[in-house]
Amino acid sequence: MLEFKVIQELEPNIEILETIKNYTFTTKNGKVKHLLKTNLKFIKPTEYLITYPITLTILEYKVNEISSKNFYIKEHNQKYNLKEIRQILIKLTN
């Protein structure tokens, strides 16, 4: 049986919370889990679910070594950085 141990609890990013404070949203904390008896780690991203006036699911990944874009919008199937997220929210609400 696979056994996991949570090694780190990921809190929501203060900067994105400031960006979405005018929207109706919920957040789910992310986690970094270690698969026991191996050297594998799994990252569950922090989730920001905006429900009003638009519906968006933004996932924030703790580590992204390939690029500096650590946010992912499910509805767009694309990665973004914080500056791009702000621009998208402005465009979608206008």
Q: Domain tally for the chain?
A: 1
Q: Is the pLDDT of residue 67 over 90?
A: no
| Residue 26: count of CB within 10 angstroms of its CB | 9
Domain membership of residue 35 (yes or no) is no
Domain membership of residue 5 (yes or no) is no
pTM of the predicted model as reported, rounded to 2 decimal places: 0.85
Domain membership of residue 83 (yes or no) is yes
Domain membership of residue 50 (yes or no) is yes
Domain membership of residue 38 (yes or no) is no
Q: Is the pLDDT of residue 31 over 90?
A: yes
pLDDT score at 47: 97
Domain membership of residue 8 (yes or no) is no
Q: Is the pLDDT of residue 64 over 60?
A: no
Domain membership of residue 63 (yes or no) is yes
Domain membership of residue 85 (yes or no) is yes
pLDDT score at 1: 86
Mean residue pLDDT of the chain comes to 90
- 3-state helix, strand and coil shares in percent for the chain, rounded to the nearest 5: 20, 45, 40
Q: Give the domain range for residue 24.
A: 13-29+45-93
